Amino acid sequence: MDKKEKLTYADAGVNIDTMSDALSKIEKDVRSTFNDSVIENVGGFGTLYRPAFEGMEEPVLVSSTDSVGTKVMVAIMAGVYDTVGQDIVNHCVNDILVQGAQPLYFLDYVGTGILNHEFMQDIVSGLAQACRENSMALIGGETAEMPGMYREGDFDLVGCIVGMADRKKILTGNTITEGDIMIGLASSGLHTNGYSLARKLFFEMKGFTTDTEVDELGCTVGEELLKVHKSYFNCIYPNIETCGIKGLAHITGGGFIDNIPRILPEGTAAEITKGSWDIPPVFRYIQREGNVDENEMFRTFNMGIGMIVVVPEGKAETCADIFSTSGENAVVLGRITRGDRDVVFNG
C-alpha cells in the first residue's frame, strides 16, 4: 500500500503559527484602548463589556457596520496601512454620531490572502489610535487568512461599532423646520467614498502611480487619496445641546444628494448656496480631468464637506464659532426650505 503524503493547513496556504504570532504582536495596541468597562482578556472567544449608563434616563445601544471599500487598494499600492485603520473607525463613529450617540467599543474584520505581519500591525495601530482619539475600546475582531478568496497582498477591512444614546435625546431630524440653518464641517479629502471613480481617473485614465506628484493637489496622488477620514465626535457631541442641534448628516456614499434627505421631515428641502465654501482642489481636479457631471460629483463625493449640522437660525452664528474654536472649518451652507425632501442648489 502506497504511503500517503501528509497534508497540513500550512500546505493549503494558512499558517496558524504565523497568525498566532501576529496576534501576540498587536496585543499591546489593542490593550492601549481598554477602559474600566472592558472585563475580558485579548484572545477570548468573546469580549465582555460592562457599559456605564450613569446620567442616562433610558440608555439605548446604537450600532453600525461598514467597510473602507476600495480605498484599501490605494493603501496596498502605496504600502501604507495605518491610515485605513483610522478611516474605518472614524467613519463608523460619525455614522452613529448622527443619531446623537457616543461610541463604546469597536470590532474589526481583516480578510486577507496571506497574512503579512507588518501590514497587520500597521492596520491595528491605526485602529487603536482612532479608538483612543474617540474614547472607545477596541475589544476584539477577526483576522481571516483565506488564500483561495484573496490574492496575495490583498485584504479587506470592515468595522463594527456599538455606542449609546439617551432615548429622549436621539437625533432623528424630526424637529427640523423651515428656516433652520445648515452648517458644514470641512472634510479632509475624499474620506472613504468615491474611490472607484477616483482610482479609474488617477490610475487608469491618467496613468499615475501613488508616488506621482500633482502640483494642483500639492502632494502625491497617494498622499491625497490616503488622507484620513475625519471624526467629528469630539467637536459635535459635547455641543449637541448647547447648539440646539436638530439633525446631522454624514456625507458619505451618495454625497449631498442622497444623505441630506435622510434627516429631512416631509414637506422640507435643503437649499444649498453654491460658493459658500471652498471646494478642495482634488474634487475640482477629478471633475475637470474626468469630465464628470456636477450632479454626479455631488452624489459621489463629499465635495469638501464631511458633516452637515442643522441648527435653529438663532443658533447658527454661535454654533459655527464653537465648531471653529474646536478646530473645525465650519461654514454656513444654506437653509431648510419648503419642499419634497430634496436638495436644491442655488447661486
Cell of 232: 467629528
Residue range(s) in the chain whose domain bears CATH number 3.90.650.10? 181-346
User: What is d(CA 211, CA 209) in angstroms, rounded to the nearest whole number?
Assistant: 5
Tell me the backbone φ, ψ of residue 116, rounded to 5 degrees. Answer: -115, 120
More confident residue, 135 or 2: 135
Does residue 72 surpass a pLDDT of 60? yes
Contacts of 278 (CB under 8 A, 6+ apart): 304
Q: Which tens digit of pLDDT belongs to each residue from 94-131?
A: 999 999 999 999 999 999 988 887 788 999 999 999 99
| pLDDT for position 43 | 59
Q: Answer yes or no: CATH 3.40.50.720 is held by domain 181-346.
A: no
Q: Which tens digit of pLDDT belongs to each residue from 10-52?
A: 555 555 555 555 566 688 898 899 999 998 765 567 888 999 8
Question: What is the pLDDT of the chain when averaged over all its residues?
Answer: 92
For the question of whether the overall pTM of this predicted structure is more than 0.85, the answer is: yes
User: What is d(CA 72, CA 86) in angstroms, rounded to the nearest whole number?
Assistant: 12
| pLDDT for position 283 | 98
| pLDDT for position 115 | 81
Where residue 281 falls among pLDDT bands split at 50, 70, 90?
A: very high
Provide mean pLDDT across the span 177-196: 98
Provide mean pLDDT across the span 270-299: 97
User: What is d(CA 40, CA 47) in angstroms, rounded to the nearest whole number?
Assistant: 5
Tell me the backbone φ, ψ of residue 154, rounded to 5 degrees. Answer: -85, 155
Please give the CATH topology (third level) of the domain spanning 10-169: 60s Ribosomal Protein L30; Chain: A; (3.30.1330)
Cα–Cα separations (whole angstroms), residue 234 to 31, 141, 147, 251? 22, 25, 40, 17
| pLDDT for position 45 | 77
Does residue 212 surpass a pLDDT of 70? yes
| pLDDT for position 8 | 58
Where residue 190 falls among pLDDT bands split at 50, 70, 90?
A: very high
| pLDDT for position 234 | 97
Collapsing DSSP to helix, strand or coil, 271 comes out as: strand
Q: Tell me if 90 sits within 8 A of 71, measured CB to CB.
A: no
**Percent share of the chain, pLDDT over 90:** 80
User: What is d(CA 106, CA 331) in angstroms, rounded to the nearest whole number?
Assistant: 31
Q: Which tens digit of pLDDT belongs to each residue from 318-329?
A: 999 999 998 899
Residue range(s) in the chain whose domain bears CATH number 3.30.1330.10? 10-169
Cell of 310: 442643522
